[in-house]
Structure 1
Amino acid sequence: MASDDADAAPRTGMKPVDPRLLRYARASRGFFVAIGAIAFAQTVIVVLFAWLLTRAITGAIDGMPRPQFASTLAWLAATVAARAALLWAREYVAARAAARVEAQLRDRLVGAVDALGPAWLTTQNTAKLAVTAGRGLDSLDAYFGRYLPQLVSTVVATPIIVLVMWWQDWISGLTVVLTLPLIPVFMVLIGMATRSVQQKQWQTLQRLAARFSDTVQGLSTLKVFGRQHRAADSIQRVTETYRAETMRVLRVSFLSGFALEFLASISVAIVAVSIGFRLIDGSLMLAVGLFVLLLAPEAYLPLRQVGVQFHAASEGVAATDDVFAVLDAARALPPAGSTPSVTAQAASVDRGMLRLEAVAVQRGERTLAPVSLEVRSGEVVLLEGPSGSGKSSVIAALRGAATFTGGAHWGGVDVRSASPSTWLGWAGQQPGLVAGLVADNVALGDDSPDPALVARALDLACADLDPDLPLGVQGAGLSGGQGQRVAVARAFYRHLRGLAPVIALDEPSSALDSATEERLWAATRSLADAGAAVLLVSHRTSARAIADRVMRLEPAEVLA
C-alpha cells in the first residue's frame, strides 16, 4: 500500500472550472450550454419582474385603472411562475448532468486503472482510490447542482443586470461597479482558506478508509498478537481528526457566508441610501429609483451565491483532482502498439513458447538480477530458490504487476503489448477470491461459464467443493488451503476454456498436505502433457518430479 506521504504534496488552487472536466466528461459540455441558456432566461425574467412590480406599485400610487392594474398583476404572477419553472429546469439539468458526468468519470477511471496496469496499482492505496471513486464522485452532485449553475449565472446575469441599472440610473450602476469587486476579493481570500481545510478533511477521510481497510484485513493476525485494541485506538484517533477537520470546514463555511452576506448587504444599502436622497430632492423619479433598487440585490446575488456554494462543492472538486491525476497518468502512456514487435520469422520460431530474455524486474528502487528461460507448450519449468530470490517477481512481471526490462514473449508477441487475460492463467499465493459462488470464482472473467469445465477444474485442483457454495468477501467461508485450490482451479479453468495457453502457479501447494500435493502435481503434469506451457514456482522438492527443467534463483543475485 502506498504511503500517506503523498497526501502532503501541495495542490494547485481551485480553478472555477477545471478544463480537464470538459476533456474527460463529454456530458459536461452540453450541461454548460443548457445552463447558460437557462441563466439568460432567468436574467430576463428577473428584470421583467422588477419592472412589472415597479409598475404595479407606482400604478397603485398614481391610481392606475383597475383593468390595467389587474393585467399588470397577471403578468407579474406569470413571471413568478416562469421563474419557478426555470429554477426547476436548472435543477433537473444539473441533476442529470451530475449523474452522467459521475458515470463517465467512473468509467474512465476504471479504464485508466486497467490501462495503467497492476504494476501501477501496487504502488497506490486502493482504499483511497475506492473512496475517491465512490464517495468522492458522489459529491459532484453539489458541484453540478449548486456551484456551477451559480457560476454560470454570475457570468451571464451580473453583467446584464448592471448594464440595465446603468442604463436607468448611472449613479447606481457606478456604485454597483465599484462595490461589486469587494465580493470576489473576499471570495478569493476565503476560498484559499476553505480549500486548505477541505483538502485536509478529504485526506483524513482517505487515511481513515485506508486504516480501516488494513485493520479489517489483518484483524486475525492482530488478535493473535493482542494488538487489536491498539488498532482500534488508531482508527479512533483518525476518526477524531476527521471530526475536527469537518468542524473546521463548517466554521470556515459559516464565517465566509456571514462575510459575503455582510458585504452584499452593505453594498445594497449604499445604493439604497443614494437613491433615497435623490428621491427626496426630486432628482430621481420614483419609478426609476424603485426599479433600480429592486435590481440591486439581484446584481450581487449570483456572485454571493458562488461563494456560498463553493463550500458545498469543494469535496467533489477535491475528489476530481485525484481522479484527473489518474486519468492524466493513463493519458501519458505511450499509444498501444508502440512496443517493438518481433519479426515474422521470430514469431514463427517462438510459436507455442514463452521466452524470457534478460528479464530484470524492478521492485521499488531495486532491480532484480536478469532472468532468461524458455517454457514450451507441453513443458513444466520449475523455478526454485529461497524467499527473496525473485521467483514471484518473475510471474508478477508476466501478469503486468511489475515493470521490467528485457524481453518477454509468448508466441513471438511481447507480453507487454497483450493483456494477460488473453494468454495467461495464474494462481498466486493470495487466492484473490470475491464474494459469490465458488463457480463464479473459478469462471471469473468468462461471460459464458461452462459448468462442466468448472467441475473438472475443481477436480484437477483437488478442490472437493460444491460449485454452488456461496462465499463471503475475500472468499470468507473457506480455509486457506481451500481458497488456494479454488485459485488454482481458476487458472486451470482458463486453460481448459482455451483462454490461457500458459499456466503460472506461484506456490500452489504451500497450504496442502503431501497426499493432496501429489494429486495436484499429477493434475498439473497432465495439463502440460495435453499442451499447456506451465511455469511453476515452488519450494517443495516434490515438484521436481513433474518438472522438465529446473531453474534456481539465489538472493545474492539481487542488484542494488
Structure 2
Amino acid sequence: MKPVDRRLLGYARSARGFFVVAGLLGLVQTACTVAFAWLVSSTVVAAIGGASVSQLTGSLAALAAVVVVRSGVIWLMGYISARAAAVVKGELRRSVLEKLPQLGSAWLSSRNSVTVSTVVTVGLDALDTYFSKYLPQLILTVIATPVVVSVLFAGDWVSGLTVMLTLPLVPVFMILIGRATESAQKTQWQKLGRLSSGFLDVVEGLSTLKIFGREKRQAERIRRVTDDYRTSTMSVLRLSFMSGFVLELAASLSVALLAVSVGLRLVDGSLGLGVGLFVLMLAPEAFLPLRQVGAQFHAAADGIAATDEVFEILDTPVVSGAIGSATVTSVGELPGALEQRSTRAAALDGLEISGLGVSYGEVRVLHDFAATFRAGELTVITGPSGAGKSTVVAAMLGFVQHRGSIRLLGTPGREPEPEPEPESARALAPGRELGQNTRPLQLDDVAWSGQRSQLLAGTIAENVTLGARTPDAALAARALDLAAASELDPLTALGVNGAGLSGGQSQRVSVARAIYRALDRGCAVLVLDEPSSALDAETEAELLRGLRELAGRGMIVICVSHRAAFRAAADAIVTVARPGDATVPAAVASLASTRRN
C-alpha cells in the first residue's frame, strides 16, 4: 500500500496543483512554527530578565500575528484539501466510467459488478479523508521535519543530534504496524465487497426466494457476512489504536530524553535558558508530523485501497474486438423522414463474418464461424441452446475477444482491402466479389436489443430515445409502431426496471429503442436477440412486419430466435451448431446457412 501512488498524478491532473499549493502552505506553516517557538522563548527570557510590558509589546504583537497566520494557513489547507478531494474523485469516476465501455462486458463479466460499483461510489468517497487529513500531514512531514531538525542543529547541535538519532524509531514502528494494517485493511475491503454483492443478489432475487421459501436462510447469510465485516472493522480499529499508542510512546520517550539532556546542561550552565527553552518547544514539532501521518494513514486506508482498485481498472489494456473505437455522430439534423435517415444503411451491400473464433478460457465456443448477412434481408440466427448464438452477437458488438474478421461490404469511397479468408467463407458467401470495398464494423454502425429489456425509470419516450442528443418525439412514435408497440403511450411513466409494463411490453419498448437508434443515427445493422420470446403470435406477426419494412429499406436486420414464425419469415437462416457436431457438414464446421429463393 503506497503512501502516494504516482498514477494518481497521471489520472487526476488536478492533484498536481494540490501538491504544489499544499507544499507552499506547509512551508509557511513550518516557518510559523519555528517563529512561534523563537518568539515564545525570547519573550519568556526577556520577561525573566526584567523587561517591562511596553518592551514586550512588539514581541507579543509578533507572536499574535504568527498565531493568526498559522491558523489561517491551517484553515486554508483544510479548504484546499476538501476541494481537491471533490475534484479528484470526479476525475477518477469520469475516467473509470469512460474506461468500462472500452473494456466491454466480457471484462466486466469476469469481475464482480457490485464490487466495481462499490469502488467507484463508496470507495472513492473515502478519498475525502485521504486528501483532507493524510496528504496534508504527509506533505508537512516532508517539509517540516528536515527544516525543524536543521534549526535544532543550528541552535544546539547536541539536541539536533539527539532528535536525528531517535527520529527513525517512529517510521520503523510505522512500517511494522503498517504491514499488519495493510493485510487487515485488504481483508476488510474484500468483506465489504462480499457484503454489498450478497445483499444486492438477495434484493434482486427476493421474489424468487419468497416463492420457494428460502428468504430466511438468506437473512441468516447476510447476518453472518455482516458480522464478519464488523469483526474485520474492529480489527483494523484495534491496529489503528495500537499504532497511535506506539507512535506516541516513541515520540514521548524521545522528547523526554532530549528534555533530560537540556535540563542537565541548564543546571551546569553549559546551555543558555533561551536556547534550551527554544529547543524544548521545537523538538516535539519534529515528531508531530510523523505521528500524525501514522494516525491518519489508518483513517485514509479505505481511500488508498479504493484508488488501488481504480488504478487497476484504468491500467487494464483494452483488447481490440470486432468494433473499433468510433465517435458516434448524430444525424438528428436531418429531416424526420425514414427514407432520409436510412440513406447510410442503404449504401451497403451486407455484413460478412469470416473465420470467427471465440473461447472462454479453455472452453472453445466458436471455431471458424463464417456467414454473410445481406442488406435488405431479414436474417435469423438459430440453433440449439449453448451453441454460441449470443456469442456471435457479442462478437459483432465487440463485447468479447475473438479471432477472425467482421466487416461491412460495399462502402463507397474506400480502397479495396483484399485479405485471405477461410474456404468456408467463400462457399457460404455467394455473390461476393473479391476486392469489393470493405471496412471493419464499428460502434456507430450497430443498433442492438438484448434478451433483457433493461429499462430505466422515466417515460416510455425517454427509454426509447435513450442516448439521443436531440430526442425526436415523432421518430420515437414511429419506432414504437415498427416494434408493434403503437398502443403504448410514449408519455407513460415507468418505475425502476420498467415497472408498470408487462414482460412483452417491456420487450417491445427495448426493441423500439434499438430501432430508434438505427433510424436516428443511420445504423447499417440492427441486431435483436430473442425479440419475441414474450409475445403472442399476433403481436409477433406485427413485429415481423415492422422488421421486414426496415429490411426493405436497405438495413441489415439480424435476429436471434427459436420461434417458428421468425424462421418462416426470414430471407436467410443461419444455423449455429456446437463445435464438433456431427450433423453439420465438415466443410462449414459450425455453420449451416439456408437462403430462401
Check whether TM > 0.5.
Answer: yes
For 1:540, the equivalent position in structure 2 comes to: 563
What is the CA-CA distance between 1:224 and the residue it aligns to? Answer: 2.2
**What are the Cα deviations for residues 509-535 of structure 1, in whole angstroms up to 9, with x where unaligned?**
111111111111111111111222111
Alignment of 1:137-536 (within 5 A): 137-330=124-317, 351-367=348-364, 368-411=366-409, 412-415=438-441, 418-419=442-443, 422-463=444-485, 464-536=487-559
Q: Give the Cα separation in 1 of the matches to 2:567 and 2:162.
A: 90
Instruction: Determine whether 1:80 maps to 2:77.
Output: no
Letter in 2 for 1:182: L
For 1:342, the equivalent position in structure 2 comes to: none
Is contact 1:397–1:403 with CA below 8 Å preserved after alignment? yes
Q: Give the Cα separation in 1 of the matches to 2:504 and 2:580.
A: 32
**What are the Cα deviations for residues 35-64 of structure 1, in whole angstroms up to 9, with x where unaligned?**
111111111100000010011111111111
**What are the Cα deviations for residues 59-113 of structure 1, in whole angstroms up to 9, with x where unaligned?**
1111113222111111111110010011011111111111111111111111111
Is contact 1:357–1:372 with CA below 8 Å preserved after alignment? yes
For 2:45, the equivalent position in structure 1 comes to: 58
Is contact 1:431–1:487 with CA below 8 Å preserved after alignment? yes
Letter in 2 for 1:88: W
Letter in 1 for 2:312: A
What is the CA-CA distance between 1:16 and the residue it aligns to? Answer: 2.0
For 2:87, the equivalent position in structure 1 comes to: 100
Is contact 1:361–1:370 with CA below 8 Å preserved after alignment? no
Is contact 1:427–1:487 with CA below 8 Å preserved after alignment? yes
Unpaired runs of 5+ residues, structure 2, are 327-345, 410-437, 582-588, 591-597
Letter in 2 for 1:500: C
Q: How much is the aligned-residue C-alpha RMSD, in angstroms?
A: 2.1
Q: Give the Cα separation in 2 of the matches to 1:380 and 1:338.
A: 27
Letter in 2 for 1:400: G
For 1:345, the equivalent position in structure 2 comes to: none
Is contact 2:319–2:401 with CA below 8 Å preserved after alignment? no
What is the CA-CA distance between 1:331 and the residue it aligns to? Answer: 6.9
Q: Give the Cα separation in 1 of the matches to 2:218 and 2:504.
A: 28
What is the CA-CA distance between 1:135 and the residue it aligns to? Answer: 0.7
Q: Give the Cα separation in 2 of the matches to 1:236 and 1:438.
A: 39
Q: Give the Cα separation in 2 of the matches to 1:318 and 1:350.
A: 52
Is contact 2:320–2:401 with CA below 8 Å preserved after alignment? no
Q: Which moved more, 1:434-443 or 1:504-513?
A: 434-443
What is the CA-CA distance between 1:337 and the residue it aligns to? Answer: 7.2
Is contact 1:425–1:502 with CA below 8 Å preserved after alignment? yes
Q: Which moved more, 1:306-315 or 1:203-212?
A: 203-212
Residues 489 and 91 of structure 1, relative CA distance in 2, 3 Å threshold: same
Q: Give the Cα separation in 1 of the matches to 2:150 and 2:39.
A: 18
TM (norm. structure 2) is 0.86
Is contact 1:443–1:454 with CA below 8 Å preserved after alignment? yes
Letter in 2 for 1:76: L
Is contact 1:442–1:487 with CA below 8 Å preserved after alignment? yes
Q: Give the Cα separation in 2 of the matches to 1:298 and 1:494.
A: 64
Residues 263 and 331 of structure 1, relative CA distance in 2, 3 Å threshold: farther
Is contact 1:389–1:557 with CA below 8 Å preserved after alignment? no
Is contact 1:424–1:499 with CA below 8 Å preserved after alignment? no
**What are the Cα deviations for residues 367-398 of structure 1, in whole angstroms up to 9, with x where unaligned?**
22332111122111111111111111111111
What is the CA-CA distance between 1:218 and the residue it aligns to? Answer: 1.8
Which has a greater percent of helix? 1
**What are the Cα deviations for residues 6-45 of structure 1, in whole angstroms up to 9, with x where unaligned?**
xxxxxxxx12211111111111111111111111111110
What is the CA-CA distance between 1:338 and the residue it aligns to? Answer: 10
What is the CA-CA distance between 1:332 and the residue it aligns to? Answer: 8.3
Q: Give the Cα separation in 2 of the matches to 1:331 and 1:140.
A: 27
Q: Give the Cα separation in 2 of the matches to 1:230 and 1:465.
A: 41
Describe the SS at the equivalent of 2:407: strand
Q: Give the Cα separation in 1 of the matches to 2:491 and 2:256.
A: 74
**What are the Cα deviations for residues 458-510 of structure 1, in whole angstroms up to 9, with x where unaligned?**
12212232212222222222222111111111111112223422111111111
Residues 503 and 517 of structure 1, relative CA distance in 2, 3 Å threshold: same
Q: Give the Cα separation in 2 of the matches to 1:424 and 1:233.
A: 46
Q: Which moved more, 1:278-287 or 1:120-129?
A: 120-129
Q: Give the Cα separation in 1 of the matches to 2:104 and 2:186.
A: 28
What is the CA-CA distance between 1:413 and the residue it aligns to? Answer: 2.1
Is contact 1:197–1:249 with CA below 8 Å preserved after alignment? yes
Q: Give the Cα separation in 2 of the matches to 1:232 and 1:360.
A: 43
Describe the SS at the equivalent of 1:407: strand
**What are the Cα deviations for residues 435-471 of structure 1, in whole angstroms up to 9, with x where unaligned?**
2221111111111111111112112212232212222
Q: Give the Cα separation in 1 of the matches to 2:347 and 2:391.
A: 23
Describe the SS at the equivalent of 2:71: helix
Q: Which moved more, 1:147-156 or 1:222-231?
A: 222-231
What is the CA-CA distance between 1:350 and the residue it aligns to? Answer: 9.6
Q: Give the Cα separation in 1 of the matches to 2:191 and 2:54.
A: 65
Is contact 1:508–1:538 with CA below 8 Å preserved after alignment? yes
Is contact 1:112–1:330 with CA below 8 Å preserved after alignment? no
For 1:344, the equivalent position in structure 2 comes to: none
What is the CA-CA distance between 1:557 and the residue it aligns to? Answer: 4.1
Unpaired runs of 5+ residues, structure 1, are 1-13, 340-348
Q: Give the Cα separation in 2 of the matches to 1:389 and 1:551.
A: 12
Q: Give the Cα separation in 2 of the matches to 1:435 and 1:290.
A: 69
Instruction: Determine whether 1:70 maps to 2:68.
Output: no
Residues 498 and 180 of structure 1, relative CA distance in 2, 3 Å threshold: closer
Q: Give the Cα separation in 1 of the matches to 2:318 and 2:299.
A: 30
Q: Give the Cα separation in 1 of the matches to 2:580 and 2:109.
A: 23
